[in-house]
Amino acid sequence: MFGLSNMKRSTAGLVAVAGATSLLLAACSSSDTATTASSTTAGGACQGKTIAFVMGAVADPFFNAMKVGAQAEATAQGATLVWQGDKEYSAATQIPVLDQVLATNPSGLVLIPTDPVALQAGFDKAVAAGIPSALVDTKVNDISKAVTFITGDNTDGGTKAADAIATAIGYQDGQKYKVVVGLTSKTATTNVARLEGFQKAIAANYPGITIADIAYSESNSAKANTNVNNWLTKYPDLSGIFAIDGTNATGAAAALQAKGLTGKVALVGYDAYPDNVKLITDGVFTALIAQDPAAEAKQAIQSICTTIGGGTVTTKEVVIPNVVLDKNTSAADLTKYTYVA
């Protein structure tokens, strides 16, 4: 304990010195120090710095697409990217990873918290250590000290999914329809926001639709597949499935195909995994809600570099809009919004 707090104190001291030095250098260098979130390198403030990303489940192409964007931006800024996470999307496994990363004293931190309450302490610790810290995709409850919080518009994604399902099933007032929702996690803010958006849109605009069941697959496609298999049996009159993220979408698509129900049950997925995008043209997916993970990562790193360079990030919460990919989307757009693996 005594040793640890010694290390923390000297770490904090080093960070303070490093921070002061870089501020001095930035002040002495050319005058185009960035002051907004969306500008480019702040006079090379990030040159030679280490930016750590601590993310959710490694086994998710959404995060991999984010990594591609993060790597590109880090290279452009001359910084080293440290990409860490656990294979499970859970706070219990993410907290030790975060602790480890903080112990290496990165120049900047981008956190994708798997739980808004459990990761608050770790996030606050990073901030207290003087590390400019940003949040991407999901957030912790108190983001007041974050450099910025960048996410896709998850509530809007849920709303768009409701619209897509209603259109696909030919919704008519007075008729009754059943849908199910497959999620990954009960607490991850992305999942919660998408579900809320979906539920509100259904309650407001499509009152004939009932959400018959909700289940969690913890980023495991096989689990999602099992859930959907059994739902398709339990609800023979099922109209639609909302698969709230990429792994659920993969599991649900396989289940529909195996049961020969493609086109008969509407399937709206989230995240433009390349293989799922292909299934739009095959008619397996009614629609996919595409985010822009590479843009989220890029903006997060830019904001951190701005802060390291002594600038101020004015846009504290950035919401990147979603795109709905369906059979009417042009081939060019499909390619543009597909996540790069």
> Stretches 53-61, 122-130, 157-165, 326-334: which one binds other proteins (CB under 8 A)?
53-61
Instruction: Report how far residue 261's alpha carbon sits from residue 253's, in angstroms, rounded to the nearest whole number.
Output: 10
Instruction: Report how far residue 217's alpha carbon sits from residue 250's, in angstroms, rounded to the nearest whole number.
Output: 12
Residue 50 CB, nearest distance to other proteins (Å)? 21
Characterize 249-287 residue by residue with b for buried, 16 or more Cβ atoms within 10 angstroms of its Cβ, and e for exposed: bbbbbbbbeeeebbeebbbbbbbbbeebbebbeeebbbb
Could you say whether residue 59 binds other proteins (CB under 8 A)? yes
Could you say whether residue 58 binds other proteins (CB under 8 A)? yes
51 within 8 A of 326, measured Cβ to Cβ: no
| Interaction mask 271-290, other proteins, x per CB under 8 A | --x-x---------------
Number of alpha helices (DSSP H) and beta strands (DSSP E) in the chain? 11, 12
* Residues contacting other proteins: total by CB under 8 A: 39
Can you read off the two tokens belonging to residue 218? 């913890």
Task: Please identify, using beta-carbon distances, which residue of 174 and 260 lies nearer to other proteins.
Answer: 260
Could you say whether residue 184 binds other proteins (CB under 8 A)? no
- DSSP assignment letter at 321: P
Could you say whether residue 320 binds other proteins (CB under 8 A)? no
Could you say whether residue 230 binds other proteins (CB under 8 A)? yes
Residue 112 CB, nearest distance to other proteins (Å)? 13
| Interaction mask 84-113, other proteins, x per CB under 8 A | ---x--------------------------
Instruction: Report how far residue 152's alpha carbon sits from residue 138's, in angstroms, rounded to the nearest whole number.
Output: 9
The CA-based angle 42-45-50, given to 5 degrees, is 130
Residue 234 CB, nearest distance to other proteins (Å)? 5
Could you say whether residue 219 binds other proteins (CB under 8 A)? yes
Could you say whether residue 247 binds other proteins (CB under 8 A)? yes
Could you say whether residue 327 binds other proteins (CB under 8 A)? no
Residue with tokens 């112990």: 103
> Stretches 8-16, 62-70, 126-134, 292-300: which one binds other proteins (CB under 8 A)?
62-70
Could you say whether residue 71 binds other proteins (CB under 8 A)? no
Could you say whether residue 257 binds other proteins (CB under 8 A)? yes
Residue 246 CB, nearest distance to other proteins (Å)? 8
54 within 8 A of 101, measured Cβ to Cβ: yes
Residue 180's φ and ψ, nearest 5 degrees, are -130, 160
Residue 206's φ and ψ, nearest 5 degrees, are -130, 65
Task: Please identify, using beta-carbon distances, which residue of 158 and 246 lies nearer to other proteins.
Answer: 246
Instruction: Report how far residue 206's alpha carbon sits from residue 172's, in angstroms, rounded to the nearest whole number.
Output: 8
Q: Which residues bind other proteins (CB under 8 A)?
A: 57-61, 63-64, 67, 87, 213, 215-216, 219-222, 225-227, 229-234, 236, 246-247, 250-251, 253-254, 257-260, 273, 275, 341
